[in-house]
């Protein structure tokens, strides 16, 4: 600790600075102090500690078509969830994504493209991998269901189900949808005119996808045996399916009764998949195959002393169209083998275009690569999490992106940073040092400043509460509220007038205004890192926040005395060379420049 830090620490201890904050918010900024002072974060921290390392998964994507913005959304949700845990200190947090490559749908798509199936899969899997990279998704593994270790996992899982008597053979007749890769009961099917061709087809009432009558002998899983256990689990774990309206939907489905599930198809029909162990005439059902990917990535089957510290997942992110597979079939498969169930499913709504679901088959899929190129990655990340639907669908429109970019990023965060950093008559560093040295506040504006300090500190708490309830959208809204409120505060305090007055009261108000606003900006940027990692790295560089002072624990007023341009020599020496370069570069540029569409 250098001399100025020691002095600041002494002020903290003798209480002068702390009076300026609030008696209820004495900050020592050590983790113990936070825990002692804040019951709620303490509990949440303890809870996430218990479930570490954090493991979050995305659905694996069908390779029959190219990625669209809906796929990007699902990926972004997983990424923000993982990065939040890393921000909180879980360096082993893990994110899994990948591709779902087996099944009739992919087999047929490859046939139509007149391409060898594996070659076809390679091409499309690469596109999803490229998307994960282009979107800066912090994945730890990109799994493909054609990976050799996945085959081992699926075969093992199957054998275990068989050994425990959960699989039997029988003749199955029913309506199969290749597009949805599932059987539908008679009651779920109706005759319709296909809009694009005028053909009369049988289609699923739920998804509108064509179904065909199939009669075949295959293997079945005793799903019906799990009705009561599933219902009990839902009741005991109200956070199992988020949001609650989808939990209610699933409960009703299960209460209505479950039929056994067909879990293989004759290999004569479906060649592209993993064969049933000891029965070459059957291929394992693509959904059973696909769901097991979440286990494969943790090293399943673990074997003697195997490492399964990642299992079970903390959160599995899925779209609302695949809730039944994940929240009924998947838990039942796991229960059959006594494998612990995932802790939570975040089920999200869909992106629509003109109110129709964005999808390849409707031809209205937004190309995510072009969107990223056009608006910039972090602008898209911000927009999709800010506006993306969890409960209700959200409509995608370029105009909405421009609007949100202007309001939240240019006029909101960008403007706040510019005002604090580029004001010629003030500097963060000077104000920070003044506040540290002169800690009591008696000015008439102290209540306003006090409110701001309370708000800054409560933002980290409320954002974390939202994240622990698996609601990144609400966390982002909370952080942005702080940004908007700080801009209002800055406007009200009008430091451009305060600088004109030499009276000590005005000086003090000026320093408190700049310091409080800088603290709000620093805390907001720290908390926004999971949402906009690149832009927030730049923003924190602009603020001269040292790399080791960017964690969640630093997101409180008074936690960092070393930032601001012109910080003490000792602090400056700690700045790594590459960060110095970034700072020089960053100062030449604007964080949120006009969009290409605007110039
Ligand atoms: N392969 C299955 C998942 C198997 S997981 C063991 C699958 N693949 S998919 O490619 O069709 O969809 C992948 C994810 O993208 C799903 O969660 C789906 O809900 C999501 N989305 C597809 N279209 C979407 C939108 N229009 N909007 C938001 N998400 C969308 O299902």
Q: From the alpha carbon of 59, which atom of ligand 1 is closest?
A: 5
The per-residue DSSP string of 401-435 comes to HHHHIIIIIIIIIIHHHHHHHH-TT--HHHHHHHH
Please give the pLDDT value at position 484.
98
Spacing, Cα 179 to ligand 1 middle (Å): 12
Q: Is 66 in the pocket of ligand 1 (CB under 6 A)?
A: no
Q: Is the pLDDT confidence value at 599 over 60?
A: no
Q: Rounded to whole angstroms, how far apart are CA atoms 554 and 523?
A: 8
Q: Do domains 3-41+388-588 and 42-166+288-385 have the same CATH topology?
A: no
Burial class (CB in 10 A: 0-12, 13-18, 19+), 215: exposed
Instruction: Return the residue whose CA atom lies nearest to atom 19 of ligand 1.
Output: 319
Please give the pLDDT value at position 305.
58
Spacing, Cα 331 to ligand 1 middle (Å): 19
- 8 Å CB contact between 475 and 466: yes
Instruction: Return the residue whose CA atom lies nearest to atom 17 of ligand 1.
Output: 319
List helix spans (H) across 113-164: 117-134, 148-163
Which of 530, 386, 524 shows the shortest CA–CA distance to 56? 530
The C-alpha angle 308, 310, 315, rounded to 5 degrees, equals 140
Please give the pLDDT value at position 304.
63
Q: Pairing between strand 261-262 and 351-353?
A: unpaired
Contacts of 454 (CB under 8 A, 6+ apart): 22, 25
The more confident residue out of 230 and 566 is 230
pLDDT tens digit string along 434-471? 988 765 555 657 889 999 999 999 999 999 999 999 99
Q: From the alpha carbon of 290, which atom of ligand 1 is closest?
A: 6
Q: Rounded to whole angstroms, how far apart are CA atoms 505 and 443?
A: 7
The more confident residue out of 17 and 189 is 189
Q: Could you give the percent of the chain with pLDDT greater than 90?
A: 74
Spacing, Cα 26 to ligand 1 middle (Å): 47
Q: Structural domain boundaries of the chain?
A: 3-41+388-588, 42-166+288-385
Q: Is 290 in the pocket of ligand 1 (CB under 6 A)?
A: yes
What average pLDDT score do residues 274-284 get? 97
Q: Rounded to whole angstroms, how far apart are CA atoms 55 and 208?
A: 34
- 8 Å CB contact between 177 and 210: yes
Q: Is 96 in the pocket of ligand 1 (CB under 6 A)?
A: no
Please give the pLDDT value at position 440.
54
What average pLDDT score do residues 220-225 get? 97
Q: Is 383 in the pocket of ligand 1 (CB under 6 A)?
A: no
Q: Could you give the percent of the chain with pLDDT greater than 70?
A: 85
Contacts of 291 (CB under 8 A, 6+ apart): 325, 326, 329, 330, 333
Please give the pLDDT value at position 355.
84
Q: Pairing between strand 167-177 and 212-221?
A: antiparallel
User: Residue 247: in which H helix or E strand, if any?
Assistant: helix 244-255
The token duo for 203 is 């289609």
Superfamily of domain 42-166+288-385: HUPs (3.40.50.620)
pLDDT category of residue 15 using cuts at 50, 70 and 90: very low
Spacing, Cα 319 to ligand 1 middle (Å): 6
pLDDT tens digit string along 499-555? 999 998 899 999 999 999 999 999 999 999 999 999 999 999 999 999 999 999 999
Please give the pLDDT value at position 580.
64
In three-state secondary structure terms, 333 is helix
Q: From the alpha carbon of 291, which atom of ligand 1 is closest?
A: 6
Q: Rounded to whole angstroms, how far apart are CA atoms 203 and 184?
A: 9
Please give the pLDDT value at position 120.
96
pLDDT tens digit string along 237-268? 999 999 999 999 999 999 999 999 999 999 99
Please give the pLDDT value at position 14.
35
Please give the pLDDT value at position 363.
81
For a pocket test of ligand 1, which of 179, 319, 384, 397 has the largest count of ligand atoms closer than 8 A to its C-beta?
319
pLDDT tens digit string along 39-94? 334 334 444 555 789 999 999 999 998 999 999 999 999 999 999 999 999 999 99
Spacing, Cα 274 to ligand 1 middle (Å): 22
> pTM for this one?
0.89
pLDDT category of residue 594 using cuts at 50, 70 and 90: confident
For a pocket test of ligand 1, which of 66, 68, 71, 358 has the largest count of ligand atoms closer than 8 A to its C-beta?
71
Rounded to 10°, the helix 577-588/533-542 angle is: 90
pLDDT category of residue 573 using cuts at 50, 70 and 90: low
Please give the pLDDT value at position 424.
80
If one counts every other C-beta atom within 10 angstroms of the C-beta of residue 328, the result is: 20
Q: Is the pLDDT confidence value at 194 over 90?
A: no
The token duo for 5 is 């830090």
The token duo for 236 is 């005991």
What average pLDDT score do residues 323-342 get? 97
Q: Is 313 in the pocket of ligand 1 (CB under 6 A)?
A: no
Contacts of 67 (CB under 8 A, 6+ apart): 61, 127, 128, 131, 368
Q: Is 317 in the pocket of ligand 1 (CB under 6 A)?
A: no
What average pLDDT score do residues 148-157 get? 97
CATH of domain 3-41+388-588: 1.10.730.10
Q: Rounded mean pLDDT of the chain?
A: 88
Please give the pLDDT value at position 5.
44
Q: Is 321 in the pocket of ligand 1 (CB under 6 A)?
A: yes
Please give the pLDDT value at position 357.
87
Q: Rounded to whole angstroms, how far apart are CA atoms 505 and 502?
A: 8
Place of tokens 């199992």: 240
């Amino acid at each position: 600790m250098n001399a100025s830090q020691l002095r600041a620490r002494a002020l903290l201890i003798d209480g002068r600075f702390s009076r300026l904050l609030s008696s209820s918010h004495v900050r020592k900024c050590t983790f113990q102090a936070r825990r002692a002072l804040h019951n709620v974060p303490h509990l949440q921290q303890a809870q996430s500690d218990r479930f570490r390392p954090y493991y979050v998964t995305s659905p694996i994507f069908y390779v029959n078509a190219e990625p669209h913005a809906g796929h990007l959304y699902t990926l972004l949700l997983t990424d923000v969830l993982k990065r939040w845990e890393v921000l909180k200190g879980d360096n082993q947090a893990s994110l899994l994504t990948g591709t779902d490559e087996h099944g009739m749908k992919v087999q047929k798509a490859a046939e139509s493209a007149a391409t060898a199936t594996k070659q076809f899969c390679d091409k499309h899997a690469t596109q999803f991998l490229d998307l994960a990279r282009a979107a800066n998704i912090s994945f730890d593994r990109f799994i493909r269901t054609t990976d050799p270790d996945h085959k081992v996992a699926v075969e093992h899982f199957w054998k275990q189900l068989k050994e425990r008597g959960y699989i039997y053979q029988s003749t199955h007749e029913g309506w199969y949808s290749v597009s949805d890769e599932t059987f539908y009961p008679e009651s779920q099917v109706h005759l319709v005119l296909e809009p694009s061709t005028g053909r009369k087809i049988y289609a699923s009432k739920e998804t509108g996808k064509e179904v065909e009558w199939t009669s075949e002998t295959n293997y079945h899983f005793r799903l019906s045996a799990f009705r009561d256990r599933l219902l009990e689990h839902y009741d005991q774990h109200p956070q199992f399916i988020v949001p609650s309206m989808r939990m209610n939907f699933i409960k009703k489905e299960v209460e209505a009764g479950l039929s056994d599930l067909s879990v293989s198809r004759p290999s004569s029909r479906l060649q592209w998949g993993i064969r049933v162990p000891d029965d070459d005439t059957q291929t394992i059902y693509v959904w059973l195959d696909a769901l097991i990917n979440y286990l494969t990535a943790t090293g399943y089957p673990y074997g003697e002393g195997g490492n399964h510290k990642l299992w079970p997942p903390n959160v599995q992110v899925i779209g609302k169209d695949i809730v039944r597979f994940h929240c009924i079939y998947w838990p039942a498969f796991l229960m059959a083998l006594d494998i612990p169930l995932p802790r939570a499913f975040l089920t999200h709504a869909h992106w629509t275009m003109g109110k129709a679901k964005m999808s390849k088959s409707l031809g209205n899929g937004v190309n995510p690569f072009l969107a990223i190129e056009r608006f910039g990655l972090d602008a898209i990340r911000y927009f999709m999490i800010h506006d993306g639907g969890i409960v209700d669908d959200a409509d995608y429109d370029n105009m909405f992106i421009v609007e949100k970019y202007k309001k939240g990023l240019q006029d909101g965060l960008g403007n706040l940073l510019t005002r604090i950093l580029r004001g010629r008559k003030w500097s963060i560093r000077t104000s920070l040092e003044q506040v540290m040295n002169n800690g009591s506040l008696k000015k008439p504006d102290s209540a306003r400043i006090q409110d701001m300090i309370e708000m800054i500190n409560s933002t980290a708490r409320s954002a974390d509460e939202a994240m622990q309830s698996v609601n990144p959208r609400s966390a982002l809204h909370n952080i942005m509220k702080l940004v908007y409120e700080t801009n209002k505060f800055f406007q009200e305090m009008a430091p451009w007038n305060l600088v004109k007055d030499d009276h000590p009261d005005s000086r003090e108000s000026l320093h408190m205004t700049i310091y409080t606003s800088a603290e709000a900006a620093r805390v907001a940027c720290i908390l926004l890192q999971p949402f906009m990692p690149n832009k927030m790295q730049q923003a924190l560089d602009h603020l001269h926040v040292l790399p080791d002072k960017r964690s969640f624990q630093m997101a409180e007023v008074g936690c960092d005395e070393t930032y601001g341009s012109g910080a003490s020599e000792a602090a400056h020496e700690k700045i790594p060379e590459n960060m110095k370069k970034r700072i020089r570069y960053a100062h030449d540029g604007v964080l949120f420049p006009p969009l290409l569409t605007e110039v």
